[in-house]
Structure 1
Amino acid sequence: MNPKPYLHPSAWKSEDVSSNEHWIVTLDAQDINEIDKALAAVRSRSLEIPQLSKDDFVVPGVALKMREVLRQLEEGHGFALIRGLPIERYSKVDAARIYWGLGAHLGTAFAQNAQGDMLGHVRDLGADWKTEMKARGYQTRLHLPFHNDSTDVVGLLCLQKAKSGGASRIVSSASLHNEFVTKRPDLWEVMCQPFCVDRRGEESQGQKPYYVTPCFNYLDERLFVRYNRTFIESAQRFPEVAPLTAAQLEAMDLMDALCNDPVYYLDMSFELGDMQWLNNYVVLHSRGDYEDWPEPERKRHLLRLWLRTPGFGRLPAPFADRNSDMTAWQQRPRPPVFDASEIAAELAH
């Protein structure tokens, strides 16, 4: 395969998107009225997550905005932010119903871990992903390096903000790919070769504790980037995994340097009620460390969705192994809990 730039709207730089916030979709009073009516209908029928479907959450006007969000995710810049949901008006249970209902207009929710959690809680449990091999980034307040998740789209809803810090930072992995192509085609070739990635204790019976995939993948003239250096390096703990080569380390060093270059990244603050949506194949995300409030009810709290969207019916063959994990997790979907002690117990497992 010859290296060539990926000429697509998803290959953006900071200046392309920071000066024009067309990626922010604002909900107006009419939208909120539609959402409230849909929520009332859901409550009257006692519909709960994960059974709640797109057809159950009827919001004709908002659905048009969600259609534009989906177009941006699949065909445009690869990210969007929905703003304007008056989150303080809703209980956490109802906020989750709204979030799930709107997400259903983008795609189908997928389990996020081996416990089958369909709606994830992002809260600090004091975990340390650097030293605890089963710890996940959403269980800690520590800085998270740039990475992407394992499904088409990841979404976050802000229920509570941190006392300070915790800002989201995103970068176009498509744009970074193009830098490899034009400036270091030798390292582009390295990124197209397989890397071993740690499953972090979430393998199914009979599976290896790691999966294998290139960082740069292609299918149907489309680019698919998969990058998580933390999990690539932690896979080195397995004796059967070959040591990373000097070229692989150099390629990842270049990837990280580009990720952290202000020319490429976009900072995105979360306001209460904001919903961020990212296309994992062309966007990498990071988060700064943060200071939390001492009161449990005020602690930073986001809800997370992993979605399969219609435009990604075909995926590169190397993704099949990791996707088999999520397919297995999907067989035992676990409804979300909202009591603080139950959330902590759920995340601890």
Structure 2
Amino acid sequence: MNSEVAGPDSWSGSDLAAKQSSYARDLLPYLPEIDAALEKFKELELNGPAVDADTFPLPTLGPQLQDVAKDLYEGPGFVLLRGLNTDKYSDEDNMIIFLGISSHIGSQRGAQNKSRVMVSHITNAKEWQNVPEEKRHGIHTNSALPFHNDMGCEILTLLYRQVAASGGATSLASAATIYSELLKQPEVLETLKAADWSVQLSGKPPRFEPMPVLANHDGHIIISADPGRLGLHPKTGEKPSEGDLSRLTEAQLRALEVLNELAEKHAFSVPAQAGDILLINNLAVLHKRDSYLDDEGAGGGEDATKRRWLMRLWLRNEALSWGVPESMRTPWEAAYGKEIGRFIEDKYDPTPQPDYKVPRYTSGTAAWLIEDDEA
């Protein structure tokens, strides 16, 4: 497929700015049903791993959420669910509701690191400030994050527990739209499609695997680009162990520049509020985050919600899934496969850990690598 892509997943930010109905869904009419499902689940005396569409029944909202899943795989590739009042619930109940709603969209959850963290927290907790920013993952700072994908993830799912005092906006860009633009620059397009990009899989020692950044797969444009994982990242603090494999070529560096320029050109800034759930087809849509400032008086305990805080799930709808090409499969297997961490219990924490565990490696962007583990 080397022709312009025309479909619901091909859009530009300027097209969506005045069309909130094309991507936003209102949960307000279904809040009593959500509360009833929460109480039913609590009566079962189960915990996070047991939340699914059966233990968290949503007889009216459930079919609507199945349509949301179709919008993610067959529509624009992102949906904003609006109407939850997260201040009304405890931290544990917020997590259960997040898991319950999302289970009607994608039943399979991906592991987000080798320790099998299933719910992660995107925040810059005040308790973590004793750890230098360069030793933390990018999602655990308030710095800007460039356009990227969470490598391996299919449906990136974010619950906005709280937004920042200023900044922190999430922007999206359509891979299909970018692909159509790249047809005018065939050399750049072929560079992105070539399976010779050095994707860093571990930090100590550095280990790489060649993969493409962009692919045509069964009629879908799939993108898997995280600048922090392409080539040897400076934060690794290691020298290459595999010769020139870790070094990006001039053509690749130029291709990344063009990719980012086109993403910025067609970017859509999501008007997210506290309580929103943003779902993104991570195979079809790039995302970035602006830098932000928190309320300086916000700390732990009761004040924690005054700081920007998102809860993150990696979902997959097995019936609708596009799958991934073999050349991009390694990160996908790390998230959804059965082998990595199969003897480790899945972890569901409703709040960020008070003590920040410094990872062995950080790419500075989405969070982790296949062999990322606490030092």
- TM-score for the superposition, normalised by structure 1: 0.89
CA–CA separation in structure 1 for the residues paired with 2:41 and 2:283: 33
Secondary structure at the counterpart of residue 307 of structure 1? strand
From 297, 303, 306, the equivalent of 2:311 is 303
Secondary structure at the counterpart of residue 77 of structure 1? coil
Tell me if 1:162 matches 2:161: no
Tell me if 1:54 matches 2:58: no
CA–CA separation in structure 1 for the residues paired with 2:204 and 2:19: 40
Q: Is the 8 A contact 1:10 1:174 kept in 2?
A: yes
Residue equivalent to 1:26 = 26
CA–CA separation in structure 1 for the residues paired with 2:333 and 2:307: 34
CA RMSD of aligned residues (A): 2.2
Secondary structure at the counterpart of residue 111 of structure 1? coil
Q: Is the 8 A contact 1:111 1:333 kept in 2?
A: no
Q: Is the 8 A contact 1:337 1:343 kept in 2?
A: no
What is the Cα deviation at residue 218 of structure 1?
2.0
What is the Cα deviation at residue 259 of structure 1?
1.6
CA–CA separation in structure 1 for the residues paired with 2:33 and 2:253: 51
Residue equivalent to 1:145 = 146
The 1:273–1:200 alpha-carbon spacing in structure 2 relative to 1, beyond 3 Å, is farther
From 317, 336, 344, the equivalent of 2:348 is 336
What is the Cα deviation at residue 274 of structure 1?
0.3
Secondary structure at the counterpart of residue 179 of structure 2? helix
Residue equivalent to 1:281 = 283
The 1:5–1:343 alpha-carbon spacing in structure 2 relative to 1, beyond 3 Å, is farther
Query: What does residue range 173-192 of structure 1 map to in structure 2 within 5 Å?
Result: 173-181=175-183, 183-192=184-193
Q: Is the 8 A contact 1:114 1:202 kept in 2?
A: no
Residue equivalent to 1:91 = 90
Secondary structure at the counterpart of residue 118 of structure 1? strand
Residue equivalent to 2:120 = 120
Secondary structure at the counterpart of residue 225 of structure 2? coil
For residues 127-163 of structure 1, the C-alpha deviation after alignment (integer angstroms, 9 at most, x for no partner) is 677x44xx42221111000001121100100112212
Between the aligned residues of both structures, percent identity stands at 26
CA–CA separation in structure 2 for the residues paired with 1:346 and 1:59: 37
The 1:177–1:59 alpha-carbon spacing in structure 2 relative to 1, beyond 3 Å, is same
The 1:277–1:170 alpha-carbon spacing in structure 2 relative to 1, beyond 3 Å, is same
Residue equivalent to 2:263 = 259
What is the Cα deviation at residue 202 of structure 1?
9.3
Residue equivalent to 1:272 = 274
Match of 2:349, as an amino acid?
A: V
Size of the alignment, in residue pairs?
336
What is the Cα deviation at residue 306 of structure 1?
0.1
What is the Cα deviation at residue 50 of structure 1?
1.5
From 214, 219, 234, the equivalent of 2:232 is 234
Residue equivalent to 2:199 = 197
For residues 21-67 of structure 1, the C-alpha deviation after alignment (integer angstroms, 9 at most, x for no partner) is 121001123x0000000000111111211222221110111112211
CA–CA separation in structure 2 for the residues paired with 1:330 and 1:51: 17
Q: Is the 8 A contact 1:121 1:343 kept in 2?
A: no
CA–CA separation in structure 1 for the residues paired with 2:185 and 2:217: 22
What is the Cα deviation at residue 331 of structure 1?
4.7
What is the Cα deviation at residue 246 of structure 1?
1.7
From 244, 268, 287, the equivalent of 2:248 is 244
Residue equivalent to 1:316 = 325
CA–CA separation in structure 1 for the residues paired with 2:74 and 2:345: 30
CA–CA separation in structure 2 for the residues paired with 1:100 and 1:202: 34
For residues 79-132 of structure 1, the C-alpha deviation after alignment (integer angstroms, 9 at most, x for no partner) is 000000121110111011000011111111111111110111111145677x44
CA–CA separation in structure 1 for the residues paired with 2:99 and 2:223: 26
The 1:141–1:329 alpha-carbon spacing in structure 2 relative to 1, beyond 3 Å, is farther
Match of 1:320, as an amino acid?
A: R
Structure 1: which 5+ residue stretches go unaligned? none
Q: Is the 8 A contact 1:176 1:259 kept in 2?
A: yes
Secondary structure at the counterpart of residue 182 of structure 2? helix
What is the Cα deviation at residue 343 of structure 1?
4.6
- TM-score for the superposition, normalised by structure 2: 0.83
The 1:89–1:343 alpha-carbon spacing in structure 2 relative to 1, beyond 3 Å, is same
Segment drifting more, 321-330 vs 160-169: 321-330
Q: Is the 8 A contact 1:50 1:333 kept in 2?
A: no
CA–CA separation in structure 2 for the residues paired with 1:111 and 1:145: 23
The 1:50–1:330 alpha-carbon spacing in structure 2 relative to 1, beyond 3 Å, is farther
Residue equivalent to 2:2 = 3
Residue equivalent to 2:366 = none
